[in-house]
Amino acid sequence: MTTVYINKKAVEVNEGSTIFDAAAKAGIRIPTLCHVENQFPKGACRVCMVDVEGARNMVASCTTPALEGMKITTNSRNVREARKFVVELLISEHCGECKTCVRNEDCELQQLATEMGIMEIAFPGETLKTFIDDSTAALVRDSGKCIKCRRCMTVCNEIQGVGSLFAQGRGFESKIGPAFDQHLDGVACVQCGQCAAICPVGAITEKEHIDFVWEAIEDPKKFVVVQTAPAIRAALGECFGYEPGTRVTGKMVSALRLLGFDRVFDTNFTADLTIMEEGTELLTRLKKALVDKQQVALPQFTSCSPGWIKYAEYFYPEILDNISTCKSPQQMFGAVAKTYYAKKAGVDPKDIVVVSVMPCTAKKFESQRPEMNDSGFQDVDYVLTTRELARMIKQTGIDFKALQDDVMDSPMGSGSGAADIFANTGGVMEAAVRTAYEIVTGRELPVENLHLQPVIGLEGVKKASLKIEGCLPAWSFLEGVELKVGVAHGLGNAKNIIEAMRAGEEFHFIEVMTCPGGCIGGGGQPRFTTNEIRRKRIGAIYAEDEGKQLRKSHLNPEVIQIYEEFLKQPLSHLSHELLHTKYFDRN
Amino acid sequence: MTELKTEKTSCSCGEVNEDELYERLKIIVQSQRTIPGALIPVLQTTQNLFGYLPERALRIISKELKKPYSEVAGVVGFYSYFSTTPKGKHTIRVCLGTACYVRGGQDILKALQKELNIGIGGTTPDKKFSLEVGRCFGACGLAPVVMVGDQTFQRVKTNGITDILNSFE
């Protein structure tokens, strides 16, 4: 341990800690615009300056190791003025109008300027040039607003291992972006939006669908249905001042009705449907391998996360056969809304507009994939992020906190607890195992509270194995099989688990979620997401699961109903047509 | 920065078969694959080989060194030494680091621009000279400094540049 003195207070920290870490441990906030939790510090923004006794100059606390006996001051006049000067310099380059910026009042630069009492532009010189890159379905980049903090670079390269963004050029002319000023659609960007979620300013944002949605709602000829992903209910409240981890399911439903949606449905319904299809697909692959001795692609990978799909299409096209052919719950919803539901409700599917609320930016891209038209129309028309939904609610002046709880509509509004946990890392795996185990053995998964404990939590790669015993006669080929599953979240970890698999480690089923923590940490979620907030949102999701009577996908009455009335059985011809898809080598 | 040893070839004047250059590049890159920090030396060697850094070569480097293409481009764009456009036979670099700037580097640059009738980054129509700006060659005591190829000229005066240019074939 090392002892340092921050503002005369002794703080003990682990060796190798930085001054920034030490201050955080002592509960002293040092402002920063470039720091990324658990990542090697870049020292790019220079806002976190502190005074160290005996040092020649002020130092950036994020890159300076805390050494034994160091005397550090974080709040002297000198320090405050130095930080203010740095922020003034950043503002002098920054080309953006706060009043009309989508990040107004949700901007870290603006917040620091307010905190530091910056009341005028100190250096009204040349500002950055604005180049807008709106080439992709999900993201918009604005070079004029970029402060070169490099957070997006850190998440894109070091956390996601995608590497589409990097610092280009030098000095005033430098830009953060793809190579040689290319647009994002020209490079291997998976559209995960982790860059947009971590950008301190408005330089990378989601491509808004709000206006399209208002237009659809106001069109009397259109029948607008909305689906909400499970991760929304555990995070939307944060946009209205609730503590992270507060569940706002009922209020969210009320708000959606007030916005004017004709039906409020639940992506949980199709998450349960996904489990039926994907679980059956896994059992079918295992049967082919074990009984028919056929060559079959195992392990099976999950397919709910569109960033992961695009990542595999770019970086691991050779494993595309291993990825479940199931569409994601969002796309399954669109396909059945414009077929099954249209028929049931007597609405012409051409008049149905399907809007999704997703914690995700890649879902915008996914909804526009040309093959996602199996209903005869674009299956999902518009995708709103959690942040966009909050903005829509604010636009109407709805007092969110004062809303009563309401419930989703039928017949696509019921979801099991297993569907809720799709929102976090390990959840799809647990949901699948809950159902698959019961189908195979006729008994409930024999673990406490139905939780597959080894795959829960924020560790990057998690593994579990489960011995299958006492199979029903139809599944006797699985008797004694040790089912090995793996879970990865964050694409860098996806890479790690694929490499482990290639090195010979055996898996039968692997869940991959694009974003750290899973969808609860998605690129479309309220800012700012840290591991602490991820844990709170995950806590809320498990509480939602445990609070339900219905905790297994195959027992969802609406899912049973759709098979009886429409799809007949998992992997039926119609299921294949509407609920399954294919992938493309983009390399 | 230590340069990798490679057989020096004449730049992009078409004397060497391009495919052969790419074959040589592949051998160089593959030999550097596992060495940390190989990117910059590989880029230097590649530029020596081709006379500039063609996109195809950068893609090969990115793939073989397992570095994102954006990162390779970022490094190329950061150092004024690297060029992605074909260069003339001789590259003139005028230092505009602090010492050279103070001692008239800017005037030298202007005079060269006028004499050669090209801008910064430009190449003369006869492909003899390219003009670049450098950021400190580490020879501040000799300021202002001009480099032509790997030859250094010290305490350059504006009226001396014609002699310098004439000394190159």
Q: Exposed (0-12), middle (13-18) or buried (19+): which is A437, by Cβ within 10 Å?
A: buried
Distance CA A396, CA A338 (A): 28
**Residues of B with CB below 8 A from A187's CB?**
69-70
Say if residue B70 is in the same domain as residue B98. no
Q: Which two tokens stand for residue A362?
A: 């890649």
Catalytic residue among A48, A304, A326, A515: A304
**Residues of B with CB below 8 A from A157's CB?**
68, 71
Contact in structure between A317 and A586 (CB atoms under 8 Å): yes
Per the annotation, the verdict on A239 as an active-site residue is: no
Beta strand A49-52 with A9-13 is unpaired
Contact in structure between B44 and B3 (CB atoms under 8 Å): yes
Model pLDDT, residue B80: 82
Catalytic residue among A438, A519, A552, A558: A519
Contact in structure between A326 and A580 (CB atoms under 8 Å): yes
**If you average pLDDT over residues B94-105, what whole number do you get?**
94
Say if residue B95 is in the same domain as residue B144. yes
Instruction: Tell me which residue has tokens 């003034």.
Output: A88
Q: Which CATH architecture has domain A275-326+417-579?
A: 3-Layer(aba) Sandwich (3.40)
Per the annotation, the verdict on A278 as an active-site residue is: yes
Contact in structure between A279 and A304 (CB atoms under 8 Å): no
Residues 6+ apart with CB under 8 A from A372: A327, A331, A334, A335, A366, A378, A379, A380, A581
**Residues of A with CB below 8 A from B71's CB?**
157, 163, 166
Q: B68, A157: Cβ pair inside 8 Å?
A: yes
Q: Where in chain A are the domains?
A: 2-75, 90-206, 275-326+417-579
User: Among residues B27, B55, B78, which one ends one of the domains?
Assistant: B78
User: Among residues B78, B107, B123, which one ends one of the domains?
Assistant: B78
Residues 6+ apart with CB under 8 A from A59: A19, A49, A50, A52
Contact in structure between A308 and A465 (CB atoms under 8 Å): no
Distance CA A583, CA A385 (A): 24
Q: Exposed (0-12), middle (13-18) or buried (19+): which is A572, by Cβ within 10 Å?
A: middle
Per the annotation, the verdict on A519 as an active-site residue is: yes
Say if residue B51 is in the same domain as residue B98. no
Catalytic residue among A12, A81, A215, A371: A371
Give me the total of CB pairs closer than 8 Å, taking one residue from chain A and one from chain B.
42
**Total domain count, chain B:** 2
Q: How confident is the model at residue B9 (pLDDT cuts 50, 70, 90)?
A: very low
Is A2-75 a CATH 3.40.50.300 domain? no
Residue whose C-alpha is closest to residue A455's, from A478, A438, A434, A469: A434
Cα of B162 to nearest chain A Cα, Å: 32
Say if residue B108 is in the same domain as residue B133. yes
Q: Which CATH architecture has domain A90-206?
A: 2-Layer Sandwich (3.30)
Contact in structure between A510 and A300 (CB atoms under 8 Å): yes
Per the annotation, the verdict on A281 as an active-site residue is: yes
Q: Exposed (0-12), middle (13-18) or buried (19+): which is A289, by Cβ within 10 Å?
A: middle
Model pLDDT, residue B15: 59
Helices (H) and strands (E) in chain B, counts: 7, 4
Q: A177, B70: Cβ pair inside 8 Å?
A: yes
Per the annotation, the verdict on A371 as an active-site residue is: yes
Say if residue B103 is in the same domain as residue B61. no
pLDDT at B7 over 70: no
**Could you write out the three-class secondary structure of A459-477?**
CCEEEEEEECCCCCHHHHH
Residue whose C-alpha is closest to residue A509's, from A519, A497, A517: A497
Q: Which domain holds residue B96?
A: 90-166
Q: Does residue B98 belong to any structural domain of this protein?
A: yes
Model pLDDT, residue B155: 95
Q: Which residues of A touch B (CB under 8 A)?
A: 157, 162-170, 174, 177-180, 187
What CATH number has the domain bearing residue B155? 3.40.30.10
Answer whether 0.80 is exceeded by the pTM: yes
Q: How confident is the model at residue B85 (pLDDT cuts 50, 70, 90)?
A: confident
Say if residue B68 is in the same domain as residue B135. no
**Residues of B with CB below 8 A from A177's CB?**
70
Distance CA A507, CA A353 (A): 40
Model pLDDT, residue B18: 85
| A344 phi and psi angles, rounded to 5 deg | -60, -40
Cα of B125 to nearest chain A Cα, Å: 25
Higher-pLDDT residue of A246 and B150 is A246
**Residues of A with CB below 8 A from B72's CB?**
179
Per the annotation, the verdict on A326 as an active-site residue is: no
User: Among residues B56, B78, B100, which one ends one of the domains?
Assistant: B78
Cα of B167 to nearest chain A Cα, Å: 33
Distance CA A456, CA B23 (A): 50
Contact in structure between A18 and A62 (CB atoms under 8 Å): yes
Quick: pLDDT tens for A307-345: 999 999 999 999 999 999 999 999 999 999 999 999 999
Q: B73, A163: Cβ pair inside 8 Å?
A: no
Q: Does residue B8 belong to any structural domain of this protein?
A: no
Q: A166, B74: Cβ pair inside 8 Å?
A: yes
* pLDDT by residue, tens only, chain A of 587 residues: 999 999 999 999 999 999 999 999 999 999 999 999 999 999 999 999 999 999 999 999 999 999 999 999 999 999 999 999 999 999 999 999 999 999 999 999 999 999 999 999 999 989 999 999 999 999 999 999 999 999 999 999 999 999 999 999 988 999 999 999 999 999 999 999 999 999 999 999 999 999 999 999 999 999 999 999 999 999 999 999 999 999 999 999 999 999 999 999 999 999 999 999 999 999 999 999 999 999 999 999 999 999 999 999 999 999 999 999 999 999 999 999 999 999 999 999 999 999 999 999 999 999 999 999 999 999 999 999 999 999 999 999 999 999 999 999 999 999 999 999 999 999 999 999 999 999 999 999 999 999 999 999 999 999 999 999 999 999 999 999 999 999 999 999 999 999 999 999 999 999 999 999 999 999 999 999 999 999 999 999 999 999 999 999 999 999 999 999 999 999 999 999 999 999 999 98
Q: Does residue B104 belong to any structural domain of this protein?
A: yes
Cα of A108 to nearest chain B Cα, Å: 26
The C-alpha angle A404, A250, A380, rounded to 5 degrees, equals 130
Q: Which residues of B touch A (CB under 8 A)?
A: 58, 67-74, 77-78, 84
Q: Does residue B83 belong to any structural domain of this protein?
A: no
Higher-pLDDT residue of B17 and A133 is A133
Residues 6+ apart with CB under 8 A from A154: A36, A39, A42, A198
Contact in structure between A207 and A108 (CB atoms under 8 Å): no
pLDDT at B8 over 90: no
Contact in structure between A267 and A330 (CB atoms under 8 Å): yes
Q: How confident is the model at residue B1 (pLDDT cuts 50, 70, 90)?
A: very low
Q: Does residue B113 belong to any structural domain of this protein?
A: yes
Per the annotation, the verdict on A192 as an active-site residue is: no
**Residues of B with CB below 8 A from A162's CB?**
68
Q: Which of B58, B70, B84 shows the shortest C-beta gap to A163?
A: B70
Residue whose C-alpha is closest to residue A331's, from A359, A357, A366: A366
pLDDT at B4 over 70: no
Nearest CA in chain B to A158: B68
ipTM: 0.91
